Amino acid sequence: MRTRTKKILGGSAVALVVLAGLYLSSRGFKPEARPVAPASPGNSPRVERQPASASVSSPATIPGTMDEPAPAAPVLSGDPDKELEELSTFMRERFGAKLKEPYVQIKMLEDLMRFFQKRYGDRWQEELLAFLKKAFPEMHAELAAMLRNRVDYEKWVKDNAAYLRNLNDKERRSAMWDARNRLFGKETAERIWASELKNQALADTLVALDANPDANLTQKLSTYKQRLHEIHGEQTEVWLERHRQESMNRFLDLSTVQKELSAMAPQERSQSLRTIRKEMGLDEEALKRWDELDRTRDVRWDAGAKYMAEREALAKQLSGPELEAKLQELRARYFGSEAEIIGQEEASGFLRFERPRQWGRN
C-alpha cells in the first residue's frame, strides 16, 4: 500500500509533507522547530561571511507580520475521493506513530490546512474536519480541538497585531504566552513551542553573560557550555551538531567577548579562538582549518588598514576620474582578484574595511 500511495500522490504528496512548518512560519506561527542540519561550517569553514547583526531571529517576532511569502500548495490530480483516501493513508504512515505529541499534531494539521484551503476555499475547515473524522476516528475529537485552537490563535494574532507591535519584547512575549496558554493549555503550549522556550533561555543566558563585568572569557565560555547542557539535556550534542556554527557565533558576538579578544596579543587571541572552538566540539582537523582562515582574515584586514590609509591620503589630494583611476591601481595592488568587487562595493557606498573587526567572525 505504501508503494501504491507514493505512486499515486507522487511528488505532490512529498511536497505536501515538505510544507510541514513552512505554512506556520509564513504566517508567523512558530511551533517547535526541527531545523535541517547546516552544511557544517563549524567543522569546515569554506566561505568568508560578513557578521550578522542578529544571528538568531527573536522568539518575540510578532506572528502575522512575516514578509516571507507562503509556499504554494501542492496540486493533486485524478479522482478527488481516491486522492483523499490515499492522502489519509499517507498521513497515517507519516505522522501516526507520534500523533499523540502536540507538535506533531500541529505539524500535520498545518500540512492539511494548506491543502484543504487551496482545494475547498471557504469550506476548507468543514472539509478538513470531515477528513479528520474519517482518517483519524480514534483521535478526531483531539485533532478537531487542536485545529480550532490553531485557527483561534491565528485570529487572535491578526486581531491584536497593532497592539503587539507597540509592546516591548518582554511585554510582547508575555501577551503571546498568555494567549497560547489560554487557547492550548499551558502544558500543551509549552510542548508546541518548546524550541522557542529553549532559544529564549539561551538568549537570556547570553544577555546575562554580556552584562557580567566580573567574568572573563574563560568563565563566560564555561557558563555558556553549562547552560547549553541544562537547556538541552541529553539532546545537547544532537542540537550542537545542527547548531554548532550558530552557537559559536552567538558567543563570539558578545560585545564583552570581542572587547577581551581585541585587548589580547595576536598569539593569545589566536589561542583563545581555538579554545572556544574546541570547547564547542570541533575536532583537530576543523581547528586547523579555522586557524588557517583566521590567518587569511588577519592578512586581509592588515591589507585593508593600509589600503584605507592610502585611500584617505589620495582623497585629500585628488577627486573625480583622476582619484578613481588611482584607487583602481591601489585596489589592484592590495587585493588582486578581489579589487573589482571591492570597487563595486565602494561605488555603492559600502567600505568593507570601515566596519568593525569581529574576531572569529570576519
Per-residue pLDDT reduced to its tens digit, 254-270? 999 999 999 999 999 99
Nearest to 240 by CA among 57, 293, 59, 231: 231
Instruction: Looking at the structure, tell me whether residues 236 and 181 fall in a common domain.
Output: no
Give residue 7's pLDDT: 41
Per-residue pLDDT reduced to its tens digit, 186-232? 999 999 999 999 999 999 999 999 999 899 999 999 999 999 999 99
Average pLDDT score over residue span 134-139:
93
Domain count within the chain: 2
Instruction: Looking at the structure, tell me whether residues 248 and 136 fall in a common domain.
Output: no
Instruction: Looking at the structure, tell me whether residues 182 and 242 fall in a common domain.
Output: no
Task: Look at the block and give the residue holding cell 516571507.
Answer: 68
Q: How confident is the model at residue 311 (pLDDT cuts 50, 70, 90)?
A: very high
46 is a domain residue? no
332 is a domain residue? yes
Instruction: Looking at the structure, tell me whether residues 284 and 309 fall in a common domain.
Output: yes
Instruction: Looking at the structure, tell me whether residues 262 and 156 fall in a common domain.
Output: no
Residue 14 near residue 254, CB atoms below 8 Å: no
Question: Which DSSP helix (H) or strand (E) runs through 7?
Answer: helix 2-18
State the Cα–Cα distance between residues 145 and 184, nearest whole angstrom: 9
51 is a domain residue? no
**Residue 319 backbone zone (phi > 0: left; psi -120 to 50: alpha; other: beta):** beta
Per-residue pLDDT reduced to its tens digit, 30-76? 444 433 333 334 444 433 433 333 333 333 333 332 233 333 334 45
- Domain assignment of residue 281, given as a range: 197-354
Q: Which percentage of the chain shows pLDDT scores above 70?
A: 78
Q: Higher pLDDT residue, 71 or 85?
A: 85
Instruction: Looking at the structure, tell me whether residues 132 and 10 fall in a common domain.
Output: yes
Burial grade of 132 (CB within 10 A; 0-12, 13-18, 19 or more):
buried
Per-residue pLDDT reduced to its tens digit, 158-184? 999 999 999 999 999 999 999 999 999
Please tell me the pTM assigned to this model. Answer: 0.73
Domain stop point among 170, 191, 212:
191
Instruction: Looking at the structure, tell me whether residues 166 and 202 fall in a common domain.
Output: no
- Answer yes or no: is pLDDT of 1 > 80: no
How many beta carbons lie within 10 A of that of residue 244, not counting itself? 22
State the Cα–Cα distance between residues 297 and 362, nearest whole angstrom: 7
Domain stop point among 160, 191, 222:
191
Domain stop point among 191, 222, 257:
191
Give residue 23's pLDDT: 38
Give residue 286's pLDDT: 96
Give residue 273's pLDDT: 98
